[in-house]
Amino acid sequence: MKTAMSLLGSQGIFSVTEILIALAVFLLIFTVVRSFQQQIPHGLKRLPEPRGYPLIGNVLELGRNPHLSLTQMSQKYGDVMQIRIGTTPVLVLSGLNTIRQALVKQAEDFMGRPDLCSFRYIGDGQSLTFSSDSGEVWRARRKLAQNALKTFSVSPSPTASSTCLLEEHVFKEADYLITELLQQMKEKKSFDAYRYTVISVANVICGICFGRRYSHDDQELLSLVSLNNEFGDVAASGNPADFIPILQYFPSRPMKIFKDLNKRFSAFVHKIVKEHYTTFDKVNKYSEKKIVNLVNDLFGAGFDTVTTALSWSLVYLVTYPDIQKKIQNELDQTIGRERRPKLSDRLMLPYLEAFILETFRHSSFVPFTIPHCTTKDTSLNGYYIPKNLCVFINQWQVNHDETLWKEPSAFNPERFLNAEGTEINRMESDKVLLFGLGKRRCIGESIGKWEIFLFLATLLQQLEFSICDGQKVDTTPQYGLTMKHKKCDNVSLAEEASLLIAYSKNSQLA
């Protein structure tokens, strides 16, 4: 563009200064005209918004941690405010009551997805999660995906030690994970909390979707995990073309990488589905492509969130050893070492449940839901909201709202227990936002929570996690689609020798 402007100037048609002035005048007129064109219905108010800059809007104010910046802005402009990212207006919702009103009570008005450029390349534009479609076909596909997850997870297990397939898969992977961690302790005296957890979780979803598992050094599985990590990194960096539409017609290296990642992931799933398709029921009305898209959605629902939750859980356990000890005491008193934990034990392990809830709240590792979009002209809290407006839901703000939580920056599982400490206070647990709300709520929420519970209960029944002497854990979140903690490769296991004996006994439990 600079070269083109220089050429225009050298040819004597327009100078660079004249072009810049003309552009500025055009943008000013365009902004003024647009503001007057938006008629606010009688009795409603115009959305409050901070002043932005031409072309870039409020991008500079968002900085590296948009969840924190938007939380600060909401304190000034309120729970319903508008910002501009590039040239695109975005509604930002904060406050638990406001978000519940929008996503639950006015669900039909706020259930859309914006037609962002990036979303069109996820699952060939047919992703349940990212597609802008919200009609009857989408509803039918979502119901199919929910039924598939339920069938694959709660169907009876053929083994006597498990009551359902999910328990069977998690127990198997927990065994492999414990063996791998003990081996790492023997060889290196420490390990990376995320590195081995992610493989085990990937194997659970592979078992559910494909009926197979991979070894921890299998290159095919490692490539899948790598794709997921790369997707998160690229998504976190953002795509300017999503909010400055004209940029989609210009070359973009990040967008090229993003497209390539989605193609590679679809190819991976397609290859495995094709292997199974030879024995697939051809009477079924769903095509091979639809099956691939469905598996893509199931992977998205059951992989990254669970992996991130377990990784954060291990970090909190080594950071707060007294909390870890309370969980283990509860496990010893309720279950002992003679059998494995089961899903039916959840109500009898309130402190472990409280710990999981506090991990969700404190880390808030899903700071925003995937953007929503209004499906028609509507109103919220007395403000007029036009159709097709992109909507950000600030879950981090709710989970750290001082009007909802006492000392929100403190990690305190007891906040979710009743006075006697014997059960979860549902009034408190229902305030935690991680999986969204309403008609776009994550389809993998239930299976994700079950899987996290089973992994943690099984691991903490067998092992005690600690941090290497003299080392510290950095729990500062790194912003992204899901926020990870900084690399933590100095996690270790306490009392290794006795644990090896305990594990060799318990691994034989049926």
User: What are the φ and ψ backbone dihedral angles of 333, each rounded to 5 degrees?
Assistant: -75, -30
Tell me if 54 is assigned to some domain.
no
To the nearest 10°, the Cα dihedral for 14, 20, 23, 24? -140
18 and 144 within one domain: no
Report which of 342, 346, 355 is spatially closest to residue 312, judged by C-alpha positions: 355
- What is the percent of the chain where pLDDT is above 70? 84
Which H or E element spans position 85?
A: strand 80-85
Structural domain count of the chain: 2
Tell me if 12 is assigned to some domain.
yes
Tell me if 115 is assigned to some domain.
no
* Annotated binding residues for heme: 442
Average pLDDT in the chain: 84
Which residues are 384's β-sheet partners? 379
| 127 band by pLDDT with thresholds 50, 70 and 90 | confident
Tell me if 62 is assigned to some domain.
no
Report how far apart, in Å, the C-alpha atoms of 444 and of each of 148, 161, 450 are. 11, 24, 10
pLDDT: is 158 or 242 the higher one? 242
302 and 171 within one domain: yes
| Rg of the chain in Å (alpha carbons) | 25
Q: Which two tokens stand for residue 393?
A: 């839901």
Instruction: Give the CATH number, domain containing residue 169.
Output: 1.10.630.10
Instruction: Kindly state the average pLDDT of the residues 471-481.
Output: 86
Q: Which two tokens stand for residue 227?
A: 């794709």
Tell me if 435 is assigned to some domain.
yes
> What amino acid occupies position 415?
R
368 and 235 within one domain: yes
Q: What pLDDT, on a 0 to 100 scale, did the predictor assign at position 93?
A: 98
147 and 9 within one domain: no
3-state secondary structure of 104: helix
Question: What range defines the domain where residue 33 resides?
Answer: 1-37
Give the chain's end-to-end CA distance (angstroms, integer). Answer: 69
Which H or E element spans position 3?
A: helix 2-10
Dist. CA 121–CA 255, nearest whole Å: 10
pLDDT tens profile 405-464: 999 999 999 999 999 999 999 999 999 999 999 999 998 898 899 999 999 999 999 999
| 120 band by pLDDT with thresholds 50, 70 and 90 | confident
| 153 band by pLDDT with thresholds 50, 70 and 90 | confident
Q: Which two tokens stand for residue 33?
A: 């005209």
Tell me if 45 is assigned to some domain.
no
Report which of 450, 405, 451 is spatially closest to residue 428, judged by C-alpha positions: 405
- Report the predicted TM-score, pTM, of the whole model to 2 decimal places: 0.87
Q: What pLDDT, on a 0 to 100 scale, did the predictor assign at position 47?
A: 96
| 277 band by pLDDT with thresholds 50, 70 and 90 | low
Contacts of 447 (CB under 8 A, 6+ apart): 149, 150, 153, 166, 301, 302
Instruction: Kindly state the average pLDDT of the residues 310-327.
Output: 96
418 and 291 within one domain: yes
- What is the percent of the chain where pLDDT is above 90? 45
Tell me if 76 is assigned to some domain.
no
Instruction: Please check whether residue 314 is in contact with residue 453, taking contact to mean a CB–CB distance below 8 angstroms.
Output: no
User: What are the φ and ψ backbone dihedral angles of 493, each rounded to 5 degrees?
Assistant: -115, 135
Which of 136-140, 177-181, 374-378 holds the top average pLDDT? 374-378
Dist. CA 372–CA 92, nearest whole Å: 10
* Annotated binding residues: 442
35 pLDDT above the threshold of 60:
no
Dist. CA 2–CA 4, nearest whole Å: 5
For 439-497, strand residue ranges (E) read: 465-467, 491-493
3-state secondary structure of 131: coil
142 and 31 within one domain: no
Tell me if 99 is assigned to some domain.
no
Dist. CA 437–CA 57, nearest whole Å: 28
3-state secondary structure of 416: helix
* DSSP annotation of 494: S
143 and 6 within one domain: no
Q: What is the DSSP string of 233-276?
A: HHHHH--GGGTSGGGGGS--HHHHHHHHHHHHHHHHHHHHHHHH
